[in-house]
């Protein structure tokens, strides 16, 4: 950590900083410049907080030199993590497209969805049984019954399932129903008790970036899961909130190469929630793969016009099949398979 | 709801829109302009979703005319709600300042805090026993033991206590320890299961606005609580996330008059978390009261330099006392008391 | 335009709205719903302002149904515009990469740059003679002398040149030096006097999106140029400002398909300024082409370590050549050429 | 400046950094930590650019220790600047309210405005003769004729006038018409050629913060003016662009104390443009004064319903008078006069 002293700092102020560094078991290194004196804290600076120094008299600013995340950092783990989902590899050369409806509605809808997902060549299926909805008056998901419908449909096509866990009390139910990948939604990215609990189980987790979460916060949320012992974490960029109102969110493609530099975890992208309109999905999906994403989460529905939620962002089975063909060409152009 | 047809929309497209409106039990009203045809849906439009229409062919845009919140809306409840917290009124003429440390650390620290809070003239006390921390390696709060220390210190001065609930499984413990006001933190504003649970109890709730939550989303989160039967809700503006990096968050004072126009619920402001530095707190606190806030949440610590978290944003007892005097003058200037 | 009356609106309030609509030469259409009365204004609503109605008593909200831009709108001009730059077509099947250094420094630097740009297969060259710098103490560009060096280097390789105009008083000088494409920078996107002047000349213009400009504002800025008579406009997405601090700006790939739906003008992307680091450029450039961009603006320098500005975002000649090969594959994957 | 080396950096990488520091005439100071080596550059670091170092091999990050602004910095100029506008002091104990219509429309409108502004007790008058409008089809201001009407009306009441300069070519006209304070609008905050020109004249300048400009960028824009020799600069916070859509912009009250700590220049606030609605102006104006602003820019119109622009944000003469009374109480509460 670097502590910048203000021009007016006294020797006593400086000594107080030094004392605090030593109290934490680190050593100081003082550098006197022409305009400012700078103190370096030598040792494991993760035990120091910037705030502890910034409120001391004579301190202008304190800043970490080392990133706050450790287990999920690429530094120290140079090889990328490949998550194995019942034999399907996510994070390697092969790109995975996880498709399916926004929410589980009926058994026929799920059967038709699973058939369409498999026919399009996707190897994993998504669908929501518990839905985070802005309004308490909106459809909240079928719950446990939805999990059952989902499994029945997906098992027929040997598709591992991905579904969102919102309430920590439902974790055991998810395990009983053998959910293959637990999704933590954007709104729960910093629901720390939920993160701690999924950190204790041995199931792959897709962690979605919060609407206004920084890269660092996303990685610290993943660190919560990893710190519990679960290293099967997949990060998901799903659009961030900005000033623009012409579309729901802004897909942050820059996050893809930046995350891949900072962490060894695989990175997938959700172009459906980012744009919020089905007609935007193909362009955004292609951009994500071209930028290096390891996979995609795509909403598809056998009959989007009749979907119970997010009707305007789901692809039809025909559109999904067409998109997969187009993505295969992009994957090849960047030296990968799909 | 208003549905704007695209210039290329056919009569069939229009008919499909009309059919869908009627299927939801509403009536249509068609208005043919020079450039666009617009369809109005007459009836309770809250049962309609914009997305259901936007994915129909020939539809350019659908938009709600009526706000999505109902129980918390000022419309229909013109009088402001006054929340009674063990005899202390929040929402009326008297402004309430809720002060205390970021986290419960030790019994002596809490005893000294309670004494300072009472001496400064504040009527409620805040303090965290369960702390949402960005890093899994940071101090996570003393937990239940912290609740006990907090109550022991606060009861001595008859100060009702405000503390944050993060995990739905701890709600019963909060009730057993007779927490007076349950705080829902910014990161949990859309933790819908948590909202539903606090909606079922008969305790006042302070609901903090999420870092990038819109006014509408904040009100819909409050609607979740109200829909459960608990109408003792206090909204809290605590700074929003923007592009600016010179300070932690931007205190959104505009939210105060806008919320007071839109909802009958009281609105308090947390200037400590907004700015993130103790020296900014007096200016922001004064601005909040001048803009019409019903109360403040302020961090104060008997010895900020030794605080275990957020050390650089806590006021000393002397600073708190001085601030209260200054706020009293502002309160009078806007026709209120403190 | 739609005017939503508040539930408390009187008949007089309604009449006042109607009078104002008629005064502007339009007709009203009144629709009485169960909760709100809505008034439609039938006719060319571009002459009406939302504000004119929103301050009338009894009016809750007024909103435009038709987009405010006309000349640049895809509606009415379904075919895409192809801009011809001395024989090079921008906007058609062939994707154009405009490469070159951030700023003109010396004749040898420009000669080497032009050689590298041509050798990599790019057909246009960029370079700044007048530089918008955040600090008055930073290098401000070589000015007119820089234009001369640029032309001398570029003409050798028959590369049309693209360079930024900041000051309206320099427009004649740009014309005298036969600048092929005038670039309007992000900071000047709403410098309306500058837009009006370049609207009067017969030169292609690249208009960069402001750091926090909405799609609608960008199109209205283009409308300023088009309204002057110059329809040779190329829009440029160059990253937007958000809360994220891990990279300079967020490249908004969603803007590409959205702009292409809203306007007939070609859309190019500047991945160099968006990310701000050379190592991010390939991923962002590929994403932009995959999302459908008509071209790219890329910073390249014969010796980035010695560049006088933005040294860390310029590609070397070898990196540029390698990127072009990779972009050719992406272009083919989306059915285009490069 | 601090240069953080990556863990993989070689001795050659380190030497290259040292060489570059020495080449710029500074000295290095090397500190070897347990995880990173950090190099300090001792001397006037303003001549160094972070980018110059960040693109060198083995460098992880470079960061300035000293702020980039100098002439406008509070450091070195501890006393606050008081700007004298024809005898009216802005920046001292007395708070100044600058009121008037959005745009100059007619002589009677300006006469009535000036009468109302003076009657309410304001000492300066604002009004736009040249208007920056998002649409080329909106009213663009009366131009020079507007300046004449404005002066004629204001001189009658001895009110110094404040009006916006958009086009550098109009500066001489502004001087001929003896404009008392030149306003640089938010959209032109980084129109560097305009800043340089107003830096050369001897007239007070109000510099408005750009919609997404950081505090540092605002101060660097002021530094452009100061570097030209004109130190009569008044900064204006006018609301920033965020994700919130319930109001036009978010008034950033935190900017007030932060600017006052960072710079010696006076700070005024424009609550009218921030909120965008007349009913929000009183709350925002009170908040600004309570937070320590040195003045306000407020839109007022003799007949807002008939205003040619921004009709819904102008106060009536009666509302302005009432607001002034309320602001006087707030001013007293913070130890100032109005």
pLDDT interval class at C49 (50, 70, 90): confident
Q: Is the CB of A250 inside 8 Å of chain D's CB atoms?
A: no
Are the C-beta atoms of residues A216 and A68 closer than 8 Å to each other?
yes
Which residue in D has a C-alpha nearest to residue B259's C-alpha? D246
pLDDT interval class at B310 (50, 70, 90): confident
pLDDT greater than 80 at residue B309: no
Q: How far apart are CA D162 and CA D178, in angstroms?
A: 10
pLDDT interval class at B45 (50, 70, 90): confident
In B72-131, the residues whose Cβ lies within 8 Å of chain A are none
Q: In this predicted model, what pLDDT tens digit does every residue of B202-239 receive, in sequence order?
A: 999 999 999 999 999 999 999 999 999 999 999 999 99
Q: How far apart are CA A98 and CA A94, in angstroms?
A: 13
Domains of chain A: 2-63 (3.30.70.1140), 83-333 (3.20.20.70)
Q: How far apart are CA B39 and CA B24, in angstroms?
A: 15
Q: Quick one: C229 exposed, middle or buried, by C-beta within 10 A (0-12, 13-18, 19+)?
A: exposed
Q: How many residues does chain D have?
A: 338
Residue in B240, B253, B329 closest to D253 by CB: B253
Lowest mean pLDDT among B86-100, B172-186, D133-147: D133-147
Mutate to test the interface with C, among B27, B243, B246, B247 (most CBs of C within 10 A): B243
Which residue in D has a C-alpha nearest to residue C224's C-alpha? D136
pLDDT interval class at B65 (50, 70, 90): confident
Residue in C211, C220, C312 closest to D134 by CB: C220
Q: Is the CB of C337 inside 8 Å of chain B's CB atoms?
A: no
Q: E-strand spans in chain A?
A: 2-5, 27-32, 37-42, 59-63, 83-85, 88-90, 96-100, 124-126, 161-164, 181-184, 205-208, 233-237, 267-269, 295-299
Q: In this predicted model, what pLDDT tens digit does every residue of A151-162 receive, in sequence order?
A: 999 999 999 999
Find chain B residues with C-beta within 8 A of A137's C-beta: 46, 227
pLDDT greater than 80 at residue C1: yes
- DSSP 3-state assignment of C30? strand
Is C332–A330 a contact, with Cβ atoms under 8 angstroms apart?
no
What's the mean pLDDT in D256-266? Answer: 98
- DSSP 3-state assignment of A32? strand
Q: In this predicted model, what pLDDT tens digit does every residue of B113-133 receive, in sequence order?
A: 999 999 999 999 999 999 998
Residue in C4, C40, C242 closest to B243 by CB: C242
Find chain B residues with C-beta within 8 A of A193's C-beta: 166-167, 169
- DSSP 3-state assignment of C117? helix
Find chain D residues with C-beta within 8 A of C200's C-beta: none
- Give the pLDDT of residue A226: 97
Find chain B residues with C-beta within 8 A of C212's C-beta: 243
Which residue in C has a C-alpha nearest to residue B75's C-alpha? C7
Q: Count CB neighbours of A58 within 10 A.
A: 19
pLDDT greater than 80 at residue A16: yes
- Give the pLDDT of residue A290: 98
Q: How far apart are CA C314 and CA B336, in angstroms?
A: 60
Q: Classify each residue of B116-154 as buried b or exposed e, where b means 16 or more C-beta atoms within 10 Å of its C-beta.
A: bbbebebbbbbbbbbbbbbbbbbebbbeeebbbbbbebb
Mutate to test the interface with A, among B301, B312, B313, B315 (most CBs of A within 10 A): B312
Mean pLDDT computed over every residue of chain A: 94
Q: CB neighbours of A161 closer than 8 A, spacing ≥ 6?
A: A124, A125, A126, A127, A150, A151, A154, A179, A180, A181
Residue in A4, A44, A65 closest to D4 by CB: A65
pLDDT interval class at B8 (50, 70, 90): confident
Is C192–D132 a contact, with Cβ atoms under 8 angstroms apart?
yes
CB pairs under 8 A between A and B: 101
Q: In this predicted model, what pLDDT tens digit does every residue of B259-272 receive, in sequence order?
A: 999 999 999 999 99
Q: How far apart are CA C137 and CA C119, in angstroms?
A: 35
pLDDT greater than 80 at residue D289: yes
Mutate to test the interface with A, among B6, B23, B51, B306 (most CBs of A within 10 A): B51
- Give the pLDDT of residue D196: 96
Q: How far apart are CA A162 and CA A150, in angstroms?
A: 10
% of chain A surpassing 90 pLDDT: 79
pLDDT greater than 80 at residue B284: yes
Residue in A33, A42, A212 closest to D34 by CB: A42
pLDDT interval class at D82 (50, 70, 90): very high
Q: In this predicted model, what pLDDT tens digit does every residue of C126-179 receive, in sequence order?
A: 999 999 988 888 889 999 999 999 999 999 999 999 999 999 999 999 999 999
Is D287–B287 a contact, with Cβ atoms under 8 angstroms apart?
yes
β-strand pairing of D161-164 with D124-126: parallel
Residue in C251, C258, C290 closest to A254 by CB: C251
- Give the pLDDT of residue C63: 87
Task: Write down the residue that tokens 């079922």 correspond to.
Answer: B200
- Give the pLDDT of residue D308: 80
pLDDT higher for C106 or A47?
C106
Q: Is the CB of A135 inside 8 Å of chain B's CB atoms?
A: yes
pLDDT interval class at D191 (50, 70, 90): very high
% of chain D surpassing 90 pLDDT: 79
Residue in C4, C43, C243 closest to B34 by CB: C43
The answer to whether the pTM exceeds 0.90 is: yes
Lowest mean pLDDT among A82-86, D46-50, D289-293, D334-338: D46-50
CB pairs under 8 A between C and D: 103
% of chain B surpassing 90 pLDDT: 79
- Give the pLDDT of residue C312: 84
What's the mean pLDDT in B146-173? Answer: 97
pLDDT interval class at B249 (50, 70, 90): very high
- Give the pLDDT of residue C32: 87
What's the mean pLDDT in D318-324? Answer: 98
- Give the pLDDT of residue D185: 97
β-strand pairing of D233-237 with A295-299: unpaired
- Give the pLDDT of residue C51: 83
Token digits of residue C178? 């036969």
Token digits of residue B221? 């989160």
Q: In this predicted model, what pLDDT tens digit does every residue of C226-252 receive, in sequence order?
A: 999 999 999 999 999 999 999 999 999
Mean pLDDT computed over every residue of chain C: 94
Distance from CA of A98 to the nearest CA of D (A): 30
What's the mean pLDDT in A57-71? Answer: 89
pLDDT greater than 90 at residue D204: yes
CA atoms in the 13 A half-sphere facing the CB of D284: 33
Is A33–D65 a contact, with Cβ atoms under 8 angstroms apart?
yes
Which residue in D has a C-alpha nearest to residue B290's C-alpha? D287
Is A136–B220 a contact, with Cβ atoms under 8 angstroms apart?
yes
pLDDT greater than 90 at residue D51: no
Task: Write down the residue that tokens 């995975």 correspond to.
Answer: A96
Q: Is the CB of A256 inside 8 Å of chain B's CB atoms?
A: no
Q: Give the residue from C262, C257, C238 showing the smallest Cα distance to C248.
A: C238
Q: How far apart are CA B295 and CA C150, in angstroms?
A: 62
- DSSP 3-state assignment of C170? helix
Please name the chains neighbouring C, where neighbouring means 3+ C-beta pairs under 8 angstroms.
Answer: A, B, D
Lowest mean pLDDT among A100-104, C45-49, C244-248: C45-49
Q: Give the residue from C230, C88, C212 showing the smallest Cα distance to C171.
A: C230
pLDDT interval class at D312 (50, 70, 90): confident
Q: How far apart are CA A140 and CA A42, in angstroms?
A: 52
In A6-45, the residues whose Cβ lies within 8 Å of chain D are 7, 29, 31-36, 38, 40, 42-45
Q: Is the CB of A235 inside 8 Å of chain C's CB atoms?
A: no
pLDDT greater than 80 at residue A119: yes
Q: In this predicted model, what pLDDT tens digit does every residue of A212-269 receive, in sequence order?
A: 999 999 999 999 999 999 999 999 999 999 999 999 999 999 999 999 999 999 999 9
What's the mean pLDDT in B9-13? Answer: 93
CB pairs under 8 A between B and D: 125
pLDDT greater than 80 at residue D205: yes
Q: In this predicted model, what pLDDT tens digit does every residue of D86-102 receive, in sequence order?
A: 999 999 999 999 999 99
- Give the pLDDT of residue A306: 80
pLDDT interval class at C263 (50, 70, 90): very high
Find chain D residues with C-beta within 8 A of B273's C-beta: none
Find chain B residues with C-beta within 8 A of C66's C-beta: 35-36
What's the mean pLDDT in D326-335? Answer: 97
pLDDT greater than 80 at residue A109: yes
């Amino acid at each position: 950590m670097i502590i910048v002293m203000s021009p007016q700092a006294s020797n006593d102020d400086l000594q107080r900083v030094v004392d605090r560094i030593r109290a934490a078991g680190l050593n100081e290194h003082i550098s006197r410049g022409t305009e400012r004196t700078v103190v370096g804290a030598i040792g494991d600076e993760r035990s120091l907080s910037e705030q502890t120094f910034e409120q001391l008299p004579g301190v202008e600013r304190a800043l970490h030199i080392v990133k706050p995340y450790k287990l999920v950092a690429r530094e120290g783990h140079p090889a990328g993590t490949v998550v194995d989902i019942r034999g399907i590899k996510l994070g390697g050369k092969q790109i995975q497209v996880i498709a399916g409806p926004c929410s589980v509605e009926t058994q026929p809808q799920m059967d038709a969805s699973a058939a369409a997902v498999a026919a399009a060549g996707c190897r994993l299926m998504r669908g929501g049984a518990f839905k985070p909805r802005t309004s308490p008056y909106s459809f909240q998901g079928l719950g446990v019954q939805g999990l059952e419908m989902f499994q029945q449909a997906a098992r027929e096509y040997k598709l591992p399932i991905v579904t969102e866990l919102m309430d920590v009390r439902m974790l055991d139910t998810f395990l009983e129903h053998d959910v293959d990948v637990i999704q933590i939604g954007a709104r729960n990215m910093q629901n720390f008790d939920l993160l701690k609990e999924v950190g204790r189980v041995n199931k792959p987790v897709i962690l979605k970036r919060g609407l206004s979460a920084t890269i660092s916060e996303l990685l610290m949320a993943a660190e919560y899961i990893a710190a519990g012992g679960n290293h099967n974490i997949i990060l998901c960029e799903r659009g961030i909130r900005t000033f623009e109102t012409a579309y729901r969110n802004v897909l942050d493609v820059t996050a893809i190469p930046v995350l891949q530099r900072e962490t060894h975890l695989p990175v997938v992208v959700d172009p459906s929630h980012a744009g919020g309109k089905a007609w935007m999905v193909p362009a955004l999906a292609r951009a994500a793969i071209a930028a290096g994403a390891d996979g995609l989460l795509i909403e598809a529905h056998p009959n989007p016009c009749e979907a119970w939620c997010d009707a305007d962002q789901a692809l039809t089975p025909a559109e999904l099949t067409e998109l997969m063909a187009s993505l295969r060409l992009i994957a090849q152009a960047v030296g990968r398979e799909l």
